[in-house]
A and B are shown apart, each in its own frame.
Chain A
């Protein structure tokens, strides 16, 4: 299933992606007003930046240096995706339900040289608000899209995948660069 949930906002600007240890990645993002034009512009910038980043399936505001609770996910065409909602931007998102936990190895554009094994829910219900319209949205998803949502929601909470690894033997040097 691939169904864009809303028209993609006006073309955003490609912004530089910040990397750890930038402090913006380690503090919880502020909740935003979805109707604020700044939020809409931020959403557009996130989409534009995600689109030009090879292999990028999601990006959160802190990753472009903005401590705000906004992210984009798009796992279209990813081999590990089952359910796919296309391009989704959510503000102030929260996890409503998380089950079927599975371990998977994750990397992150903001932690370019490391990967880690992280348990994420394989079945997920997420609630958030669409930028612009302010419409509240509840999404049910699974597999890789669920992992991507959890990774981005973590960014908005000031958490990196490094904060989720179960132990010292679950962090690895990244071998493959896209």
Chain B
């Protein structure tokens, strides 16, 4: 069995997901975790699939979708990822403010310094408003107030608003 990382990016139209997932299922590839969205009007999908299939077979199966240049596909065999729940406490990060260069780099840099792992991140530019929302795993033992004050410093420098709150779930 191979675990395959597949990306498909390109001009959006109705039916891309149906076409790609049909091609993959016909190969016997099981689509496990995936995310698909529109980024500034461009279709973007990233999938992890599992099956006894080679990279070249997947590329050939997707070629009807990519030959006209409308979509770009990449396929790579990847080693299986670590299991979920690898530790750390979950936080939700929100940043918004006037768009400028380097917001994502500066904010995620603060988190990386303390070993914070971004597990999900989305940015949107809406007019001149820039919005970043992310899920972060912060290792236990990290001084939360220290991270907050560093984030505040960065936010002041960039002129944006930053908030970091616990993403802890209540198990019912």
Give chain A's interface residues, CB within 8 Å of chain B. 55-58, 78, 80, 104-109, 113, 115-116, 144, 147-148, 151-152, 161, 169, 172-178
Contact = CB atoms under 8 A, between A and B. Distances in A.
Nearest to B119: A173
A175 B89 contact: yes
Contacts of B137: 175
A106 B90 contact: no
Contacts of B172: 57-58, 106-108, 147-148, 151-152, 161
Contacts of A175: 85, 87-90, 119, 137, 167
Interface string B86-121: 011110000000000000000000000000000110
A144 to B, nearest CB: 7
Nearest to B167: A105
Contact of A113 (B85, B88, B89): B85
A116 B92 CA distance: 13
Nearest to B136: A175
Contacts, number: 62
Given A173-B119, A176-B85, 9 more contacts: A55-B171, A107-B172, A108-B172, A148-B172, A172-B135, A172-B169, A174-B84, A175-B87, A176-B89
15 contacts: A107-B170, A107-B171, A113-B84, A116-B169, A152-B172, A161-B172, A172-B135, A172-B167, A174-B84, A174-B85, A175-B85, A175-B87, A175-B89, A175-B90, A175-B137
A14 B141 CA distance: 36
Interface string B148-172: 0000000000000000000111111
A80 B166 CA distance: 14
Contacts of A80: 170
Interface in B2-42: none
B96 to A, nearest CB: 16
Contacts of A144: 170
B90 A176 contact: yes
Closest 8 CB pairs of A and B: A115-B169, A107-B171, A105-B169, A151-B172, A175-B90, A107-B169, A173-B84, A55-B171
A120 B61 CA distance: 45
A161 to B, nearest CB: 8
Contacts of A115: 169
A107 B168 CA distance: 9
B169 to A, nearest CB: 4
Interface in B59-93: 84-85, 87-90
A73 to B, nearest CB: 9
B122 interface: yes
Contacts of B88: 175
A5 B43 CA distance: 56
Contacts of B120: 172
B85 A56 contact: no
Contacts of B90: 172, 175-176
